[in-house]
Amino acid sequence: MRFTKMHGAGNDYIYVNCFEEPVPENPEELARRISDRHFGVGGDGLVLVLPGSDADSKADARMRMFNADGSESEMCGNAIRCVGKLVYDRGIARKDHVSIETGRGVLPLQLFIKDGRVAGARVDMGRPILDPALVPTTLRAQAGNPPDAPVIDVPFTIGGKTVKTAKTATPFPVSCVSMGNPHCVVFVDKIDDEWVRNVGPMLEAAPEFPRRVNAEFVEVRSPVELRMRVWERGSGETLACGTGACAVVVAGALSGRVARKASVRLNGGILDIEWSEANDHVFLSGEAVEVFQGTFFP
């Protein structure tokens, strides 16, 4: 099976061009094996690039994305930029505006072309989902708000229990946003491993998130600059999360911490986010980088 290794801000996946390669029979198992950084290719997961599901979708391609543990995710903001790159660079759709079908629906991309190849992209991620039932989370806004009010800075103890670390000995405020996949945003004074690698896995598996959740830990450097680390559902800590960066800016804007247009600095690079006042859509811009191509023998 031929594949391409690509990354967006260090969030790396193995991509299979299913316009040319057979669709794997068991992509969940393949994702676990090929993502292994010692016995496989190594990556945060597997992405299949396929034709659109039907003519009505009007998509240039469709992406299916599997985490390193084999679980399928609805959406990935870094992966979709790389799918746009593969679609253009491989001649599937040789144009600078493409549309990609995802679990979130069909999303449009503006591709940034340099020397005949895609160097990055701007993705229209659609409107953020703030209704708790649709995130989904069983958390609700504080008393007095309607049931569908956004969960912003709601005091939280994981599973109804206090997190047993010195840093988080009392409930801490969380904000819940979906960008097609669920996110729990925690603004902190200083990000460290205790937050990300201890609290992150507990948040991911907390019963208040019935489909598990991606956990973002964020320092506000200024109204237009944030620092973020992420514990991703099904993959652990990754160098970047595009949907997470979008969720962070939405949560930050709703809580009055940041502007609706900001740069998010992650361990793997910088993503630029804009939450448009004109149409309520969130736009994500960042790089798309091909690392190498190869052949995997399942």
Q: Which of 82, 176, 241, 246 is catalytic?
A: 241
Cα–Cα nearest to 135, from 157, 154, 122, 108: 154
Q: Do 14 and 48 contact (CB within 8 A), yes or no?
A: no
- Please enumerate in sequence order all residues whose Cβ is within 8 A of that of 185, keeping only pairs 6 or more positions apart, or say none: 174, 175, 176, 177, 216, 218, 247, 248, 251, 252
Cβ of 68: how many Cβ atoms within 10 Å? 23
Annotated catalytic residue 241: yes
Task: Report yes or no: 12 and 44 within 8 Å, Cβ to Cβ.
Answer: yes
Residue 76: active-site member = yes
CA 260 – CA 157 distance, rounded (Å): 28
Residues 218 and 186: their CA atoms lie apart, in Å, by: 6
Q: Could you list the active site residues?
A: 76, 241
